[in-house]
Amino acid sequence: MQKRLVLMHEVAKVKWIYQLAIDDPAREQQSLEALLQQSEGLDPRFTTRFFQAQFQAAQQMQREDFASWKEFHSGPFAPLVDLKNEVHSLIDRMNLHMLHLLREISSTSDTLPPLFRRPADHIPPAIWQEALTPLLCKLLFFSQMCNNKS
């Protein structure tokens, strides 16, 4: 999750320079459908909630970058990455890796993965919590938090 969120700074740079929308519902739906097809052994509702939280956290990272860049009149940025061919492919691989880890976590529910956030990655605490909430709900049964995020 952490690596995926850090990558969102690069995604935001591309979207900022080319004035692209932060939200990309078609890409999210395509990604989610592909992940659900490969999520055998996992509850599809949990898988959907988990990855929707990742999408929302990623969008929030990009929004915060945009707000900062707007405030400080930042850009242009160089070198830019190829969003569609390089970054989307890397994000898809990260998503599959997270899906694999979710399957492992689900099979050994007594083991909690490391959930720390490195300050150097510049992931605000609220965004980190957004990304973690579905996992914490499943693993630790925080029913009140889960009910508020459903």
Class of domain 2-149: mainly alpha
Phi/psi at 50 (5° precision): -60, -50
Record the pTM: 0.81
Q: Which amino acid is at 73?
A: H
pLDDT in tens, the chain (150 residues): 999 999 999 999 999 999 999 999 999 999 999 999 999 989 999 999 999 999 999 999 999 999 999 999 987 788 788 998 999 999 999 999 999 988 887 776 555 555 555 666 778 888 888 888 887 777 665 445 566 544
| Contact present, 147 and 133 (Cβ < 8 Å) | no
Q: What residue segments make up the domains of the chain, in order of their start?
A: 2-149
Which among 66, 54, 52, 53 is positioned nearest to 22, based on CA atoms?
66
